[in-house]
């Protein structure tokens, strides 16, 4: 499989410069490399001061899972191995949730993040509690960005904003069902998926579910893509 190339207006992820020098020279494990890069990307998507990811989130990460599967590896084993090596190298830090010994939280080993790390786990801040309770064990569902990347392709800033708005307007199960319908019909485009959501919004969903946003909130105000 070949890569189709980066689009003209592509969003970039900030990566610490030492990664491309000291770390890139040292890392010789593909599992460690994949885990490190993916964690950096996940952390870049976080808002606020709580720059951390949970072990449950990593175990349910579709991108990591597929990358290990396509390499013929056991995903959980490769994830654990990659995390172990990154921790030994101290590229990332780990703490255990004092309220749940099976829940681990990972952060990048940066000075400002280490300070945040101590505040969060030293005082069990409300921000940490709100973050961790938003996840349900074994019930994590892919967000709209992962669905788009897995089924359509690279995100652009304009599409990213439309996806964010869609996630606020429509129920999660509608979004997932719309992506599934697009894949089944081999119509892998956001324009097609958006048309499905608009139709369900106007006419109701065929499974009997009812949901309707006010007309002024309709996605029809956006140009189709």
pLDDT tens column, 191-219? 999 999 999 988 888 764 444 444 444 33
What pLDDT, on a 0 to 100 scale, did the predictor assign at position 48? 59
Shared-domain flag, residues 161 and 208: yes
CATH number at residue 97: 1.10.10
- At residue 30, the pLDDT reads 94
The pLDDT of residue 138 is: 33
Helices first, then strands: H and E counts in the chain: 11, 3
Same domain, 215 and 195: yes
pLDDT at 132: 38
Structure token digits, residue 115: 């300070």
Q: Is the residue at 61 inside a domain?
A: yes
Residue that wins the pLDDT comparison between 52 and 112: 52
- Helix, strand, coil fractions of the chain, as percent rounded to 5: 55, 10, 35
Span 29-45, mean pLDDT?
A: 92
| 38 and 120 housed in the same domain | yes
Residue 1 belongs to some domain of the structure:
no
Which CATH number does the domain housing residue 150 bear? 1.10.10.630
- Single out the residue of 149, 152, 207 nearest to residue 174, CA to CA: 207
Percent of the chain past pLDDT 90, that is, above it, reads 25
Question: 72 and 96 share a domain?
Answer: yes
Asked whether residue 6 is domain-assigned, the answer is no
Reading the block at residue 48, the tokens are: 């606020």
Residues 109, 63 share a domain: yes
* Single pTM value for the model: 0.53
Which one-letter DSSP state was computed for residue 100?
E
What pLDDT, on a 0 to 100 scale, did the predictor assign at position 225? 41
Q: Which pLDDT does position 81 carry in this prediction?
A: 94
**Average pLDDT value for the chain:** 77
Residue where a domain terminates, one of 102, 132, 162: 132
Q: Render pLDDT for 93-150 as a digit per residue (tens, 0 to 9).
A: 888 766 667 778 888 888 766 665 565 555 444 444 443 333 333 334 457 888 888 7
Does 172 lie in the same domain as 68? Answer: no
Tell me the residue range of the domain where 45 lies: 17-132
* 168 and 103, same domain (yes or no): no
């Amino acid at each position: 499989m070949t890569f189709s190339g980066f689009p003209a207006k592509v969003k970039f992820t900030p990566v610490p410069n030492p990664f491309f020098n000291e770390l890139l020279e040292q890392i010789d494990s593909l599992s460690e490399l994949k885990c490190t890069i993916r964690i950096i990307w996940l952390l870049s998507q976080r808002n606020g001061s709580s720059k951390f990811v949970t072990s449950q989130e990593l175990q349910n990460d579709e991108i990591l899972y597929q990358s290990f599967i396509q390499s013929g590896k056991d995903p959980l084993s490769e994830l654990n191995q990659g995390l172990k090596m990154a921790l030994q190298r101290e590229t990332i830090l780990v703490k255990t949730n004092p309220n749940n010994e099976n829940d681990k939280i990972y952060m990048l080993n940066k000075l400002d993040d280490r300070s945040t790390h101590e505040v969060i786990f030293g005082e069990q801040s409300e921000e940490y509690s709100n973050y961790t309770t938003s996840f349900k064990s074994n019930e994590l569902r892919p967000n709209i960005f992962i669905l788009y990347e897995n089924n359509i392709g690279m995100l652009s800033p304009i599409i990213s904003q439309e996806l964010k708005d869609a996630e606020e307007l429509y129920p999660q199960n509608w979004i997932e069902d719309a992506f599934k319908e697009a894949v089944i019909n081999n119509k892998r485009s956001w324009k097609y998926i958006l048309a499905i959501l608009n139709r369900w919004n106007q006419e109701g969903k065929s499974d009997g579910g009812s949901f309707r946003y006010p007309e002024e909130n309709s996605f029809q105000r956006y140009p189709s893509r």
